[in-house]
Amino acid sequence: MSGSTQGQRAASIEQRVSAVQALLDDRGLNASAAVKELDRLAQEQWVPQNGARVVARAWTDPAFRKRLLTDGRSAVIELGLTMPKHHRHLVVLENTPTVHNVICCTQCSCTAFTLLGLPPDWYKDFEYRARIVRQSRTVLKEMGLNLPAHIEIRVWDTTADTRYMVLPVQPAETIGWPEERLASIVTRDSMIGVSRP
Amino acid sequence: MHDLGGKQGFGPVRYTLNAPAFHASWEVRANSLYAFAVGCGIFNMDEYRHAIERMEPRHYLAASYYERSLTGMATLCVEKGLVTPKELEQRAQGAFPLAIPSAPGRTNTATCKTFKSGDRVRVREDYVPGHVRMPAYIRGKAGIVVGASPAYPFPDGHAHGIEAKDEPTYDVRFRSEDLWPNS
């Protein structure tokens, strides 16, 4: 491609990752130690169960729900959750019987990853990024969510550092359940908006 | 290549339930490396996004998500003078494709209007050589402001290391019939 690479066989991707890491270590930045901790956070700490807790609390606590819809970032911090510095704002998108929200990032793959987990593979694929904004009803149907025509679909494209998550409608049969049990039915995909609990 | 919203020709989303975020351990590490670099101030998020956007289009399309991430971060490590392409290739024992050098960025406009929810706005018909977060599918289109976010550094400048004063950002709602009439 560009650079001094012509005629040379491309290094494997594993070798390229290791090369960058080793060179940062050489510069005294101690990348390897930091990366180990970041690996752990990405796989164990930044998980969709965080967002599920937020949803379950919103379903059971009307005052919290109101705070969450007004200032999402402060509300999730109340629950002991974190968001990176550059996610200065969390907008929580309330689904209703007539409005369904879905999130995407057409230009890269931005998400509220500390709450929803690192995004799933299909969210980062070109198919989802290209098509969800233009053919939302068709794409959702292909993905298994067939919304009736009277439900308006709102697609939120994460083009700035504002982050979004969907607050699904609580299934009627779960009214009165305890918060932990409610959290167990909230999936990552329902907080992205491509499925419903 | 990165500005894919509305681009035609793509087939069904390859959707699976409980789809993984990572498929291999190098992907986890690539993700952590860029987060580490941002955390220690080697580059900012706007520079990172822009470096990925500058990948040669055929490379961009053929690379997996985390290969794009790694290419963006390695490009910036070179451009910031931290490493050289030669060092990368020696360590990796082979070619290490990087992104294409940047076109010039732009700083904030002299006047910055502010809006409130309910205001009708129209997206400027700008064609920007450098980084811009406006997806092409809304260029010149009218919508309604539905929310305001705290101010952020102006990405068009922030991605280029030039002056980037904080500016408000807004959530603007467009009707799909306005964006893609008769589709």
* Segment A128-161, tens digit of pLDDT: 999 999 999 999 999 999 999 999 999 999 999 9
**Rounded distance, CA B4 to CA A195, Å?**
23
Contact B117, B101 (CB under 8 A): no
pTM for this predicted structure:
0.95
Contact A61, A79 (CB under 8 A): no
User: Which are the catalytic amino acids of A?
Assistant: 105, 108-110
Q: Please indicate whether, in this complex, the C-beta atoms of A21 and B33 are within 8 angstroms of each other.
A: yes
Q: What is the pLDDT of residue A190?
A: 98
Q: Please indicate whether, in this complex, the C-beta atoms of A194 and B85 are within 8 angstroms of each other.
A: no
Smallest Cβ distance to A17: which of B13, B30, B94? B30
Q: What is the pLDDT of residue A86?
A: 85
Q: What is the pLDDT of residues A58-73, one digit of tens each?
A: 999 999 999 999 999 9
- B47 pLDDT exceeds 60? yes
Residues of A in contact with B64 (CB under 8 A): 13
In Å, how far are A4, A108, B64, B72 from A9, measured between CA atoms?
A: 11, 28, 18, 20
Residues of A in contact with B134 (CB under 8 A): 159
* Phi and psi based region of residue A94 (left: phi greater than 0; alpha: psi -120 to 50; beta: remaining): beta
Q: Find the helix or strand (DSSP H, E) in which B36 lies.
A: helix B25-39
Which residues contact residue B173 at a Cβ distance below 8 angstroms, ignoring those fewer than 6 apart? A154, B143, B144, B145, B146
Local confidence band at B112 (pLDDT 50, 70, 90 cut-offs): confident
Q: Please indicate whether, in this complex, the C-beta atoms of A122 and B33 are within 8 angstroms of each other.
A: no
Q: Please indicate whether, in this complex, the C-beta atoms of B28 and A86 are within 8 angstroms of each other.
A: no
Q: Please indicate whether, in this complex, the C-beta atoms of B135 and A22 are within 8 angstroms of each other.
A: no
Q: What is the pLDDT of residue B183?
A: 79
What is the end-to-end Cα distance of chain B in Å, rounded? 23
**Rounded distance, CA A41 to CA A91, Å?**
23
Is pLDDT larger for residue B112 or for residue B86? B86
Smallest Cβ distance to A108: which of B49, B64, B97? B49
Tell me the nearest-neighbour CA distance from A16 into chain B, angstroms.
Answer: 5
Tell me the nearest-neighbour CA distance from A1 into chain B, angstroms.
Answer: 6
Q: What is the pLDDT of residues B140-178, one digit of tens each?
A: 999 999 999 989 999 999 999 999 999 999 999 999 999
Nearest CA in chain A to B70: A17
Local confidence band at A7 (pLDDT 50, 70, 90 cut-offs): low
B39: helix, strand or coil: helix
Tell me the nearest-neighbour CA distance from B65 into chain A, angstroms.
Answer: 7
DSSP string for residues in A133-161: TTSHHHHHHHTT----TTSEEEEEE--SS
